[in-house]
Chains A and B, each alone.
Chain A
Amino acid sequence: MHEMSVALEVCRIAEARLAHEKLDRLVGVGVVVGDQAGIEPTNLQFCLDTLLAQPPFRGATVKIERCVGDSLRVDYLEVDE
């Protein structure tokens, strides 16, 4: 039910990391979602696809990996150098 706020936080983490690395072109985001995290993966995918289509992300792709437990984390970023 709170996938959009989670997606916004994923974007905030990605943006902060890009700024830290002095990069501006995000290609992909890997997110890990546990089966007890209270997150519906297809809903999160929809929210992230929508947000990442907007500036400053320019259409980065999302890969959601499932796991057992309540993990909910940004696992990696793919960036264009």
Chain B
Amino acid sequence: MSVRVIDVRESVMARNNEIAATVRQRVEAEGVLALNLVSSPGAGKTTLLERTLDALGDEMAIAVVTGDVQTQNDADRIARHTSALVQAVVTGGACHLDARQVDRALEAIDLADTDLLVIENVGNLVCPAAWDLGEHAKIVLFSVTEGEDKPLKYPRMFRESRCAVMTKIDLLPHLSFDLARATGAMREVNPELEIFLTSATTGDGMDAWLGYLRREVARASSPHGALRG
């Protein structure tokens, strides 16, 4: 037996990243802003999306792709708040969405008639950080019922995200959650992170979040294109 070593040096993510690049080209060609919502399970991604659709549904066309390990419950919830198509991806056990799944989901979505594409990823602060889906930005949600040190425990997710939406702030009076410590931890991991403090229940802070979306959707549809990162 004669053994030869073949130098490969190929990224395991290369194929996913190629597909993600084609997704990004497709959405950019239509001037669509694509956001990837990530968080731990239960941080409030679906609820934030419901309130966002209620508030912006009349002024922009929003398409949604939801990822869940099992059930299409989130897609069913969101569909009650929009007439646009909501595409459910059931990963069947996988802990994240990948670019191929998003690429397939887009086949049913009319991007020419879409201003904002929101991908609601599987609730998981680890794996989705590693998978480019062709989005313009990851938005990480962080609820005040979690530990203040989550950004330090899961730094890659906070480092990869463009914005952090703190959720459930109406619960702060009932918790010992240290908001300053939490925001400090986020800034320690990612000094550029834009932070929104929100409550989907009371509506506090939602105007700033919605304003951000309006700005970025306008920018994506302009000749200069969308944000990156």
Taking beta carbons and an 8 Å cutoff, which residues of A are in contact with B?
1-2, 5-6, 9-10, 12-13, 17, 21, 27-28, 31, 36-38, 70-81
Which residues of A lie under 8 Å from residue B174 when comparing CB positions? none
Q: How far is the CB of A58 from chain B (nearest CB, A)?
A: 13
A25 to B124, CA, bound (A): 38
Docked-complex contact A74 and B10, CB < 8 angstroms: yes
> B1-25 CB contact bits vs A (8 Å, 1 = yes)?
1111111111111011000000000
Could you say which of B4, B8, B16, B96 contacts A75, with CB atoms under 8 Å apart? B8
Question: Which segment of B34-42, B126-134, B145-153, B201-209 sits at the interface?
Answer: B126-134
Q: How far is the CB of A65 from chain B (nearest CB, A)?
A: 12
Docked-complex contact B15 and A5, CB < 8 angstroms: no
B contact patch SS:
mixed
Q: A2-B94, A9-B13, A74-B8 are in contact. List 15 more A-B contacts (CB 8 A).
A: A1-B95, A1-B127, A2-B127, A12-B15, A13-B8, A38-B156, A73-B8, A73-B9, A76-B8, A77-B5, A77-B8, A78-B4, A78-B6, A80-B3, A81-B3
Which residues of B lie under 8 Å from residue A79 when comparing CB positions? 3-6
Chain B CB within 10 Å, residue with most, of A2, A27, A78: A2
A36 to B127, CA, bound (A): 11
Size band of the interface chain B makes with A:
20 to 34
Docked-complex contact B10 and A77, CB < 8 angstroms: no
Which residues of B lie under 8 Å from residue A72 when comparing CB positions? 11-13, 130
A contact patch SS:
mixed
Q: How far is the CB of A49 from chain B (nearest CB, A)?
A: 17
User: Given the interface contacts A74-B8, A80-B2, does A1 sit within 8 Å of B13 by beta carbon?
Assistant: no
Which residues of A lie under 8 Å from residue B98 when comparing CB positions? 5
Could you say which of B2, B5, B95 contacts A2, with CB atoms under 8 Å apart? B95
A29 to B9, CA, bound (A): 11
Docked-complex contact B5 and A78, CB < 8 angstroms: yes
- Supply 6 A–B pairs (Cβ within 8 Å), ascending by A: A1-B127, A73-B12, A76-B6, A77-B5, A78-B4, A80-B3
Which residues of A lie under 8 Å from residue B8 when comparing CB positions? 13, 17, 73-77
Chain B residue nearest to A71 (CB atoms) is: B11
Q: How far is the CB of B123 from chain A (nearest CB, A)?
A: 12
Chain B residue nearest to A79 (CB atoms) is: B4
A17 to B8, CA, bound (A): 8
Which residues of A lie under 8 Å from residue B4 when comparing CB positions? 78-79, 81
Docked-complex contact B6 and A9, CB < 8 angstroms: no
A6 to B95, CA, bound (A): 12
Chain B residue nearest to A6 (CB atoms) is: B12
Which residues of A lie under 8 Å from residue B16 when comparing CB positions? 9
Docked-complex contact A74 and B126, CB < 8 angstroms: no
Which residues of A lie under 8 Å from residue B12 when comparing CB positions? 6, 9-10, 13, 31, 72-74
